[in-house]
Structure formats: C-alpha cells, structure tokens
Amino acid sequence: MKAGFNLLLWTTHVTDALLPQLEQLKAAGYDGVEVPIFQGDPAQYRRLARQLGDIGLAATVVAIVQDEARNPISADPDHAAAGVDYLKWLVDCSVALGAEVLCGPFYQPLAQFSGAGPSAAEWARLVASQRAMAEHARDTGLVLAVEPLNRFECYALNTAEAAARLVAEVEVPGYGWTYDSFHANIEERDPAGVIADHGDGIRHVHISENDRGIPGRGHVDFAPVFAALARRGYDGWLTVEAFGHALPDIAAATKVWRPLFDSEESVYREALALIRAGGAK
C-alpha cells in the first residue's frame, strides 16, 4: 500500500508557496499527496503535475460540491445540469494532474440537510449524476472513489452500505468508494467489519483520527482496519486526513476550533509511522 497526505491541512489551492511542504513530505517518506481541486483549470494542474514529478510525489485528488448552484442532486434541473458539468470538470483537472484517484463527497454541498435521508428522486439523481461522471472518466485511467460522510455533514450518503449500493447501481468500471476512518467511527457499529461486508468497492482510504488530529493519538482502532483491508487485498492509498486552523473556511466546515496538535510536522511524521506499521511498506 502507498502512503499519502491530504494537503487540506495547508491549502484549498496548491501554489508554488507550498513547494517546501511538498518537499518535506517527500523527505519524510510519503509516496504522494492528495491535492484539493476547488478552483483553477487543467493547464494549472498539468504544471503542478510536472512539479510533483520533479519532487518524486504521485497524486490523488480530493474535491467537494461547493454550492447549490452546482448541486448534482438538486431538484432544480439547471442546478443539476451545472452539477454534472462541474463533476466532469473535476475529472478533467484530475486527469491533467495525472492523479490516480479522485475522491471526496462530490454529490451534494456540505452541511446541507433535508431533515431526512435522500428521497427516491434524489437517489435517482445521485446515481445518474455519478454515472455521468464515471462515464466521462471511463477511458482516462482515473479512479473515482466517492466518499460517504457522517450524518452531521451531509444526508445523501452516510454509510458503507449506502456507498456499496451506489457503486453497484452506477456500475461503471473505475468507480468505487472511499473508506474514511473518521466517518466510519461515527456511522458504523463495526468500523472494521464493514470492510469485510461492503469492501469490494473500496478504491481509496482516508486515515483520520476521531478528533481530526494526529492519527494514532485518539480512540480509532486502526489495527483491525489495516487487517481488514489486507484481507480484502486492498493495495491502494492510505492517505492521512487531518485538519487545523490554517484555513478558516475548512476549520469552520470541519468544526475545528481548538488546537489538535503541536505542529504540522508531528501530524505527518506520526501518521506515517502508524501507516508504515499497519501495512504500507
């Protein structure tokens, strides 16, 4: 397995100012980084791909739906159509970056709720929009890994069971789901057991602690998670996802209003030690 680090700890848009941190991650022993794609164009990401190649880092991508005007499951047909166009743009930028995986909750805006789970109509729009995205990515080599989030962040996709159902209904090669230890710790009665039950479609993994701080310092039991992934034959990315105060919008979205670690270096060094001990050699 490969060790990655999600760059949302520092930025929502990677520029040359982040190159020193990228070099530090490479020196620490990471195989790649998870690049947030919230803005920009394919030309920018082709340039970043060259920079990452020079450093020796591979790439994955994390993305979200940023507003209701681009909501793929909206009942407003114009918003839903714009949402599908946005999903295709995410694919195009990810391919330009040379990313191996595009992950994230790219199905509804965060912190938007209906007071219930997805209706039958919303689920149908979810499947249709994700299938359109997957068809757009079909011949690119890019893997899509939709991410279920806990019920306090979204309502359209919360559990491993729902994610597995979505993958089965989209039914396009290269489309799967992301297992995130933070969200599983909240939503699943057996966070490791769901890997055995619904793990066929896992294409990406986020290593994240229960408080969003340093993996290994909280109460998430990573050992059975690593073991379950190994039994499944998973050989993809184990990507660290931690959040701090550097980005006010991200801090607000992730509800991080107190210090979770002493230094960013302690996050990436301790997390990498945990991953290496768990199976990413």
Q: What is the pLDDT of residues 84-118, one digit of tens each?
A: 999 999 999 999 999 999 999 999 999 889 888 99
DSSP state letters, 56-77 = T-EEEEE--B--GGG-TT-SSH
pLDDT at 246 over 90: no
Q: Which residue has the higher pLDDT, 130 or 255?
A: 130
Q: What is the pLDDT of residue 262?
A: 87
What is the identity of the amino acid at 235? D
Q: What is the pLDDT of residue 278?
A: 84
Q: Using 50, 70 and 90 to split pLDDT, how confident is the model at 31?
A: very high
| Range with the poorest average pLDDT among 11-25, 55-69, 167-181, 234-248 | 234-248
pLDDT (tens digit, 9 = 90+) per residue, 169-203?
A: 999 999 999 999 999 999 999 999 999 999 999 99
Average pLDDT over residues 20-31: 98
Could you list the residue range(s) of the whole structural domain that residue 20 is in?
Answer: 2-278
Whole-angstrom Cα distance, residue 216 to residue 269?
A: 11
Percent of the chain with pLDDT over 90: 88
Q: Is the Cβ–Cβ distance between 74 and 21 less than 8 Å?
A: no
pLDDT at 135 over 80: yes
Question: Regarding beta strands 175-180 and 143-146, do their DSSP bridges make them parallel or antiparallel, or are they unpaired?
Answer: parallel
Q: What is the pLDDT of residue 251?
A: 59
Q: Using 50, 70 and 90 to split pLDDT, how confident is the model at 281?
A: very low
Average pLDDT over residues 119-138: 98
What is the identity of the amino acid at 187? E
pLDDT at 224 over 80: yes
Q: Which residue has the higher pLDDT, 169 or 251?
A: 169
Q: What is the pLDDT of residue 249?
A: 66
Q: How many domains does the chain have?
A: 1
Q: The CATH number of the domain where 52 resides is what?
A: 3.20.20.150
Average pLDDT over residues 20-40: 97
Q: Using 50, 70 and 90 to split pLDDT, how confident is the model at 276?
A: very high
Non-local (6+) Cβ contacts of 216 within 8 A are 209, 222, 270, 271, 273, 274
Backbone angles phi, psi at 9, to 5 degrees: -65, -25
Q: What is the pLDDT of residue 260?
A: 73
Residue 98 DSSP class: T
Place of tokens 């450093």: 55
Q: What is the pLDDT of residue 112?
A: 86
Q: What is the pLDDT of residue 245?
A: 59
Q: Using 50, 70 and 90 to split pLDDT, how confident is the model at 59?
A: very high
Decide: pTM greater than 0.85.
yes
Beta strands in 76-220 (DSSP E): 101-104, 143-146, 175-180, 202-207
pLDDT at 139 over 70: yes
Average pLDDT over residues 150-163: 96
